[in-house]
Homo-oligomer: A and B are copies of this chain.
């Protein structure tokens, strides 16, 4: 097994970059290298067209696939929309959804689609703003500057502008997006086939999950006209074919220091895994209390099961001594290169010191400011309403970053959207999180003591959930519009709770920002500068949920000495079905079983370097045609958060042939087929 992390490779100097590794920004894509290695021409026009066809959703990627704003993404990327459009009686996840005509397409209340229009390097502007300041003041000034630049940009361009930190502070950019706020559901298969194999098969390959769905972007009540879109090559790619993935990888930690990795290993991962494994158990047991319970718990359960699997494998990776040793070695090498520069200081030691503080404040930070102690939709609404009332009157650059003018529209939309809130689920998550807060902070922590002086977590949660009116969007709108006066006058118990814990939460956040974030930012900028100096810019930055492009080939791998082939076929899905979830083929498929071509390719694997956030990305060929729909990686891909395992890290995509087969024979979506150019 061969592993690498780019800093290491670069530290080792003249080694070539490992094939297929890299999450490249569109302004720094290694076209020449790709031309040389694969003979493919990825020129400016190609990059522009693909960039303008690629969409960033709330937590996924998607693509325009027709001139009428039709969007292709994963089924799991619209699960929250499906849940929002469901009730306790009817589940769109369970039943699937097909809009037979455009009028039937249903709006996803909390979804938006952003398309990147342009990028501006603002590194110098940020550097000027922080020049000569100590870490704490620099941290403040940096944030204010970014807020100001975003705000100026939005005023000038009417686009959505977002600052982006690349290379841990080595570069700052302003990314400008065209935003589509009206996104509607067009088609989603039943969860039984879209997530066939469920949690057991998640992050596994071979795989048979029909993880696609379709949306459509609207403007002024009409489908948008999209000059740029990606056509689908339904026959799919050949084994070994060169392929690319434009998308928004969410986050990676490949440039983190050893101290930061050890913090994740010792504190963050175990804490999260323990808490969410328990929540998983609570959800599952709750789901057994009835059909409606099973229905409303399905989406949140599937979401945390995914999170558990990811973190389990991340923890495994952090336990590989080779990773930490390689990290130390890379730090040692870079340190040697900057030796003699007294002004450089020791940023690794600075980060280790800050991480030491972070270890001490992690629990109060997570439970109070991170709201891990108050896990309920009503509390999230309450906190947003309480804080928005306090922040909005302030000057834009003086606000908490999530309440700046740039951030407010999405926040308001999310806060006021009419989505179902289930009190029994609210009770479950709130009592669980209060109980765990008491466990981890201890019964004698001031906040715990105050809240639970005469209550158990269960009795307190019951009072709060039965007393709050925040599940009503109208009440939220009243409080949002009413500002501080409305908040002060409210006797909603959840508003009162959010208010009561606001000061201790802000206090630990302030400590975190001053004593952890600030020194880490300053030290990371120094390391990034040293890295640029030592290795040039022929490196890619860690993922930041901003647009990237990677390349690779269609390929399987060797698992314990056995070849894993890169394609799966429909036939095996039927063979593998047990009749019970998550291995149940839906009735819609069983009914037409005789008409299906059992040799239809179902999923495929590629060497593409992807992580969460790439979900829904198009897998495109050298001509920019869709030859697959990325939805997952194999189990080894999870370690990609820390390094890239060339031998085993594989991306997993839905094959376009199974999408066509499903549209033609199962969902009989003739209008969509026509729109996609299928005769």
| A579 with B204, Cβ < 8 A, contacts A281-B285, A285-B286 known | no
Asked if A312 and B443 sit within 8 Å, CB to CB, the answer is no
Chain B: CB-nearest residue to A309: B439
Interface status of A345 (Cβ within 8 A of chain B)? no
What is the minimal beta-carbon distance from A612 to any residue of chain B, in angstroms?
19
Asked if A579 and B454 sit within 8 Å, CB to CB, the answer is yes
Asked if A428 and B285 sit within 8 Å, CB to CB, the answer is yes
Interface status of A395 (Cβ within 8 A of chain B)? no
Interface status of A537 (Cβ within 8 A of chain B)? no
Interface status of A315 (Cβ within 8 A of chain B)? yes
Question: Which of A275, A280, A288, A453 has the most C-beta atoms of chain B within 10 angstroms of its own C-beta?
Answer: A288
* CB-defined A-B contacts under 8 Å, sample of 18: A200-B438, A200-B439, A200-B443, A262-B319, A273-B277, A274-B277, A275-B277, A278-B278, A278-B280, A279-B281, A280-B281, A281-B284, A285-B286, A443-B576, A443-B583, A454-B579, A456-B581, A458-B580
Inter-chain CA distance A285–B321, complex, in Å, is 38
Asked if A580 and B456 sit within 8 Å, CB to CB, the answer is yes
Chain B: CB-nearest residue to A441: B200
New A-B pairs, 14, CB < 8 Å, besides A262-B321, A443-B583: A197-B443, A199-B439, A200-B439, A204-B442, A265-B319, A266-B319, A278-B280, A280-B281, A281-B284, A282-B285, A285-B428, A454-B579, A456-B578, A456-B580
Question: In A261-317, which residues have CB < 8 Å from any B CB?
Answer: 262, 265-266, 270, 273-275, 277-286, 288-289, 308, 312, 315-316
Inter-chain CA distance A266–B583, complex, in Å, is 31
Copies in the complex: 2
Inter-chain CA distance A453–B288, complex, in Å, is 22
Q: Hey, what's the 0/1 contact readout for A577-588 against B, CB within 8 Å counting as 1? A: 011110100000
Chain B: CB-nearest residue to A308: B274
Interface status of A374 (Cβ within 8 A of chain B)? no
Question: Which of A284, A289, A452 has the most C-beta atoms of chain B within 10 angstroms of its own C-beta?
Answer: A284
Interface status of A670 (Cβ within 8 A of chain B)? no
| A578 with B453, Cβ < 8 A, contacts A277-B274, A281-B277 known | yes
What is the minimal beta-carbon distance from A293 to any residue of chain B, in angstroms?
10
Q: Which residues of A contact B (CB under 8 A)?
A: 197, 199-201, 204, 262, 265-266, 270, 273-275, 277-286, 288-289, 308, 312, 315-316, 319, 321, 428, 432, 438-439, 442-443, 452-456, 458-459, 576, 578-581, 583
Chain B: CB-nearest residue to A279: B281
Question: Which of A270, A285, A439 has the most C-beta atoms of chain B within 10 angstroms of its own C-beta?
Answer: A285
For the complex of A and B, 6 pairs with smallest distance between CB atoms? A281-B281, A456-B580, A285-B285, A277-B277, A278-B281, A281-B282
Set of chain B residues within 8 Å of A280, measured between Cβ atoms: 278, 281
Chain B: CB-nearest residue to A577: B454
Chain A residues touching B, majority SS: helix
Inter-chain CA distance A315–B271, complex, in Å, is 11
Asked if A270 and B439 sit within 8 Å, CB to CB, the answer is no
Asked if B282 and A312 sit within 8 Å, CB to CB, the answer is no
What is the minimal beta-carbon distance from A102 to any residue of chain B, in angstroms?
39
Set of chain B residues within 8 Å of A578, measured between Cβ atoms: 452-456
Chain B: CB-nearest residue to A305: B439
Set of chain B residues within 8 Å of A452, measured between Cβ atoms: 578
Chain B: CB-nearest residue to A204: B442
Inter-chain CA distance A284–B433, complex, in Å, is 13
Inter-chain CA distance A438–B455, complex, in Å, is 39
| A580 with B459, Cβ < 8 A, contacts A277-B274, A277-B281, A281-B285 known | yes
Chain B: CB-nearest residue to A321: B262
Set of chain B residues within 8 Å of A283, measured between Cβ atoms: 281
Set of chain B residues within 8 Å of A455, measured between Cβ atoms: 578, 580
Inter-chain CA distance A279–B279, complex, in Å, is 10
Chain B: CB-nearest residue to A360: B560
Set of chain B residues within 8 Å of A459, measured between Cβ atoms: 580
What is the minimal beta-carbon distance from A325 to any residue of chain B, in angstroms?
12
Set of chain B residues within 8 Å of A277, measured between Cβ atoms: 273-275, 277-278, 281
Set of chain B residues within 8 Å of A197, measured between Cβ atoms: 443
Chain B: CB-nearest residue to A435: B284
Set of chain B residues within 8 Å of A281, measured between Cβ atoms: 277-285, 432
Set of chain B residues within 8 Å of A288, measured between Cβ atoms: 458
Set of chain B residues within 8 Å of A312, measured between Cβ atoms: 270, 274
What is the minimal beta-carbon distance from A556 to any residue of chain B, in angstroms?
16
Set of chain B residues within 8 Å of A454, measured between Cβ atoms: 578-580
Asked if B274 and A442 sit within 8 Å, CB to CB, the answer is no
What is the minimal beta-carbon distance from A202 to any residue of chain B, in angstroms?
10
What is the minimal beta-carbon distance from A199 to any residue of chain B, in angstroms?
7
Set of chain B residues within 8 Å of A284, measured between Cβ atoms: 278, 281-282, 432
Of B270, B319, B432, which contacts A273 at CB under 8 A?
B270
Inter-chain CA distance A146–B657, complex, in Å, is 65
Set of chain B residues within 8 Å of A453, measured between Cβ atoms: 578
Inter-chain CA distance A316–B277, complex, in Å, is 18
